[in-house]
Structure 1
Amino acid sequence: MSADQGLREAWERISTPGEVGQELERFAGRRMERIIAIVVGVGALALGTQALVNALLKMRVVDVPHVSMMALVFVPWGAMLVCCALGRAVRLTAGIFFVAYIVDLALWPFVATHQNLDPSDQPWIFFLVNVAGVAAVVAFPLGVQVAWALAGPFLYGTVRLVQGDFQRGFWVVTAFDVSFTLILGLVLVALGWMFRSVANGVDEARGRAVALYTAAATAEASEHERVAVAALMHDSVLAALIAAERAETERERALAVDMAREALTRLANAEAPAQEGSEEPVQIERLAEDLRRAVGQMGLSIEVEHFGHGAVPDRVARAMALAARQAIGNAVAHASGRGLAVVVEGHGDTGLTVKVSDTGSGFDPAQVGADRLGIRASILARMAAVGGVATIESDRHGTVVTLGWSQS
């Protein structure tokens, strides 16, 4: 796999800002839904088991209608419990159970027995009223939840009175059951609404915080970039102005013009993406030829010496050529090009070295201001970006800039 293919694959694996933002926006809400599903599963297990045991122990008639009614509600109940435990398809199975229970409740007066009933003996379907309520909390919007919490107990009460033929003994017991399920259902709906509101509030606060931080980070990055570009342009323009001010011969004037043209070109291309090059091998002789051409464009008559042989990736060759041109420009601007020499040395398949030296008065690299990016950005950082190194040795006898890259 080439480096370009590897980079593309790596970028494809990184989530986009929009995807990350969507995950963050619903972080607390998703966790709260999971908690609600677990709590609903535990409650539904307790009440549903009670209903199932009651149905099996008190079944008077074993026929297709009675067994079908039990299967109609208990099969979705079991599926809902499994999904609550797994955290998958909870809303779907809870919704199916809710609808199945309503159907079961509507069929109850026509299937359940009406003879020899004890008003205090609650039928198994009573224990599932609030299970249907929590299923609605999981599966449906708040309006449906409230509607069932208010209407569900009365629907059960009506069905129970119909089964008891509206006898006096059923009214008191049914009224108590209806009031109990009504209060409990409203409490469950209120708790679900409260916890979800808190989670949504947390998500909204996090979203606002992330948006503010992103805006601040973007503004800071833009400001840093503006300062860096301004400093780099300042170095280029300053070097061109110094060269123009010191130009006495026709060759030096041509060099000043070329430096000014390069500064203007950099300014025009400041918004363009950097051309980093590819991993295709480039012969060292080509790099030496590019430096000779650059030296000729600057109007200098020095010879670029070339030793050894080998090849380096195109991106490395471009970076070293640009760094070397910056070093040559610095030598011309600050040392008037005295004793300027450029040496390109290939080390076969192991690497490459480029040296740019002059016999000027030298300088102290540690005293270079942080806002001066001619050395830091154009030489040191550029070499570091391609896995190379750059060293600067300078004293009163001159300056030597060494650019090195080795095959790892």
Structure 2
Amino acid sequence: MASTATIQPRSALHKARSPGRPKPCRARVVAAAATVSTAATTTAMAAAERTRAPAASVARMKSTGRRAASVASMWRQVQGSHDWDGLLRPLHPVLRDEVARYGELVAACYKVLDVDRSSARYMCCKYGKERVLEEAGVAGAGYEVTRYVYATPDVAGPPSTSSWVGYVAVSTDEMTRRLGRRDVLVSLRGTVTQAEWAANLMSALEPARLDARGAHPDVKVESGFLNLYTSSADSGGGGGMGSCRDQLLREVSRLVTSFSKDHPDEDMSVTLAGHSMGSALAMLLGYDLAELGLNRDASGRRVPVTVFSYGGPRVGNAAFKERCDELGVKVLRVANVRDPVTMLPGALLNEGTRGFLAGLGGDRYTHVGVELALDFLRLRDPASVHDLGAYVSSIKAETCGKVPNAAVDGSRGGVLAKAMEFVEGQRAVAFAWKKAALQMGGLVQTLGMI
């Protein structure tokens, strides 16, 4: 049976999801000081008008039609320069295509991962960097893979064997012209191995300690994700090249510096895309790059860092979110409202907690960024709620504001509508039980019982 898919406005989802959910942030413009000269004031006001949330510019692009709007003409908005204001409701076609495109580049990680236990390349990529995208079915993606990335969780014992979790790539000259900037891409898969699952269950918050001066001890992240990001091994698939963090920081900063030197007139972006666990790693990397100032090009200009998260969990506390906002790390969370992973960790105590539980105090998990909410479920495949392929299909469907599977005219439509109403009722009951189980699990984790 076909899946049902909608992209719903946040107002429509408010009743279905936990109350008190934070509203997406909005760009703010600071007015020019009254003490400047009249000419300077006029200039400052004009500059402020240009940097205001781009509602007018987005409206102009929409009014001129899809053909006039291109990635190159609005790439900064697509990358979140104004927190996607005016692009989500309804979903702008250029943003839709870009979110789907990055999702497919993450899906490539699953297609080329060797999961055959008898293979000599078990938990490594089956192909070399030169042909991996072609073998993954995205030959025309317009990127050149420059490095493979490995992670080594040590939660199940001493770190030993590393697993391939994704790749770093850079846009080709042709793709750069289409995108309007040189794009450095990091693509990261979700959980596969038992050690990775074990890391995901380590839900205690601990200080990130990724800033060089230790100036932000209040910034805390999930201990399992941090372990996966920072642990290293001297042997295994990673070739003794250090932790996942070391590999990523070295390669991304190398590409930013190298291409900005060779092409000083080009604009540049850093895009971090991940699914599930991979989105958590992407979040940590985005914060890390900005905190260390490694997103600066050869001339010292700040290169925008954007995270596209697909079915991603919460990663850190409120201080982590606030610091990401201060550093200008932009995050678009593509989240299916039926996907339990997006409710974890902190299913019980989180940014939306109200009432008695809110009085317990202490750190609580907080989502970062702006949410693009989806609503889909394949009735014959409940696990599809977290499937990356289903996420991408839902985005491509472009059903924003439409009712999925509209009833057929006549009596047949009436029967179908009643059948769907019954299924929805059964599904609502099942989802309520699932949510209750998640909340109990969140409480157990919060109390440190596991």
State the TM-score, normalized to the length of structure 2: 0.19
Structure with the largest fraction of helix: 1
Larger Rg: 1
Higher relative contact order, structure no. (Cα contacts within 8 Å, ≥ 6 residues apart): 2
Which one has a larger percent strand, Structure 1 or Structure 2? 2
TM-score (norm 1): 0.21
